[in-house]
Amino acid sequence: MAHDNIRYYHPDTCLLGQLEDPVTGGAVYQGFSLHVTDEPGIAADIHPGYLASCVSVIV
């Protein structure tokens, strides 16, 4: 969050268009404060159970 190359961070939730949140980790809100970890990037990942429930099509 303190790097010069980060200009904007848009923390929209995926719940605007999905029934469940497939993301694990990442930024956490506590009141009006945004907390990040020391993990690389934004420290977010996809939940494996969510991926297993998705339909897969190979073209």
- Angstrom distance (rounded) from CA 21 to CA 31: 20
Domain count, the chain: 1
Q: What is the mean pLDDT of the chain?
A: 77
C-beta separation of 45 from 39 below 8 A: no
Note down the domain range covering 56. Answer: 1-59
pLDDT per residue as tens digits for the range 2-25: 667 766 666 666 556 677 778 888
pLDDT for res 36: 79
Average pLDDT over residues 21-45: 80
List, as one string, the DSSP characters of 23-40.
EEES-EEETTEEE--SSS
For residue 26, pLDDT beyond 60 = yes
